[in-house]
Amino acid sequence: MAGIKLLFCADLDPAEAATWRHHLAAALPEADWLDADAARAAPAAACAAVVANPRPGALAGLPGLGFVQSLWAGVDRLLADPTLPPDVPVARMVDPAMSAAMAETTLWAALSLHRGFFAYQRRQRERRWHVHAQRRADEIGVVVLGGGAMGQAAASRLVAQGYRVGVWSRSGARPPPAGAEGLAGDDGLARLLPRADVLVNLLPLTPATRGLLGARRLAALPPGAGLVNLGRGAHLVEADLLDALDRGTLGHAVLDVFETEPLPAGHPFWTHPRITVLPHAAALTDPRSAASVAAANLRAWHAGRPIEHLVDRARGY
């Protein structure tokens, strides 16, 4: 990759940024890394950017910019930057290690909801000894919203666990994993929700999916269902979730993502007995594997070969 300039644009804490720099440099020893100021000073030079939460405007004013590789799977924040050059191809991160981590988190949450382990946790705090009924996995419907890299990995693990698994996508173009049922569109969602003893959200945040999990859809779930939001906070209407939990129509929610992150200290989710909070940690990007994924894509771009996992800028994912 000699002669090609690469920018690293990340709004990360210094230690995390240093780890990324180390792994990216090891995966791309031939690359010539520069910062955005240097790239702006030499506007004619072709360059690509590797980004993680870049500050809005970080990629503006770079006429030589030819490709943006995200280190994150979700690109909603990146695409929301109005200064992102409109015609530059953007690829998102698809790393089997991250998909495996997401499958683990999904299985833990589904299993904990199905077996009522969060209820046992509540009772422990109350020093209450009470055994509830035990249902078999094949009696439990788990619906995964999103049938992409994350949704497929999660659904496969849920099928292997013995659940009745449904997968919802926009187009239905990608078949669901063996043993799961795939449905698409509004009709598909309307058919799947009443079967979702556990509803797992793994959608990207786009104009079409923002606010999808509101009162109407939560009310379509079976009584006492569990919700697992691992997509983005803005998929969920927070007030509607609290209302459904407090009225008892929804049993418990496992939330990894929030409208405002970090979740503010005074937010009611922190102390709600029927909410389990995770700090956006369902599936971290692992620099040890993701740096190689990024490197392969950057080499493909440089060589004029097809780039993997290109974002459709119009659709937003």
Min. distance of Cβ 279 from ligand NAP in angstroms? 10
Which of the residues 273 through 292 are near ligand NAP (CB under 6 A)? 280, 282-283
Query: Residue 150 Cβ, how far from ligand NAP at the closest point, in Å?
Result: 3
**Token pair of 228, please?**
């697992």
Q: How far is the CB of 94 from ligand NAP (least distance, A)?
A: 6
Euclidean distance between the first and the last CA atom of the chain, given in angstroms as a whole number: 28
Beta strands in the chain (DSSP E): 5-10, 32-34, 47-52, 65-70, 90-91, 141-145, 164-169, 181-184, 198-201, 225-229, 250-255, 275-277
| Residue with smaller CB distance to ligand NAP, 112 or 116 | 112
Which of 48, 202, 237, 295 touches ligand NAP (CB under 6 A)? Answer: 202
> Residue 72 or 120: which CB sits closer to ligand NAP?
72
Q: What does the angle CA 50 – CA 52 – CA 57 come to, to the nearest 5 degrees?
A: 85
Whether 39 and 45 have beta carbons less than 8 Å apart is answered as yes
C-alpha 135/C-alpha 140 separation (Å) is: 8
Nearer to ligand NAP, 7 or 93 (CB): 93
In this structure, the strands spanning 164-169 and 65-70 are unpaired
For 11, phi then psi, to 5°, come to -105, 75
Q: Which of 74, 116, 176, 226 binds ligand NAP (CB under 6 A)?
A: 74
- Six token digits for residue 268: 């009611």
* Interface segment toward ligand NAP; rule CB under 6 A; list 4-12, 42-50, 81-89, 200-208: 200-208
Convert residues 122-151 into a mask of x (bound to ligand NAP by CB under 6 A) and - (unbound).
------------------------xxxxxx
For residue 123, the minimal CB distance to ligand NAP (Å) is 28
Residues in contact with 41: Cβ distance below 8 Å, sequence separation at least 6, in sequence order: none
**Would you call 127 exposed, middle or buried from its count of C-beta atoms within 10 A (0-12, 13-18, 19+)?**
exposed
Q: Please select the residue that binds ligand NAP; options are 206, 217, 297, 301, rule is CB under 6 A.
A: 206
CA distance 49 to 250: 43
β-partners of residue 9 are 51
**Is residue 317 part of the contact set for ligand NAP (CB under 6 A)?**
yes
Residue number with CB closer to ligand NAP (62 or 202)? 202
Indicate the residue among 64 and 233 with the shorter CB distance to ligand NAP: 233
- 6 or 275: whose CB is closer to ligand NAP? 275
- Touching ligand NAP, residues 158-197 (CB under 6 A): 168-171, 173-174
> Total number of residues binding ligand NAP (CB under 6 A)?
31
Of 206, 203, 247, residue with least CA distance to 229: 203
Residues known to be catalytic: 232, 280
- Using CB under 6 A, list all residues that contact ligand NAP: 73-74, 94, 146-151, 168-171, 173-174, 202-206, 208-209, 230-232, 256-257, 280, 282-283, 317
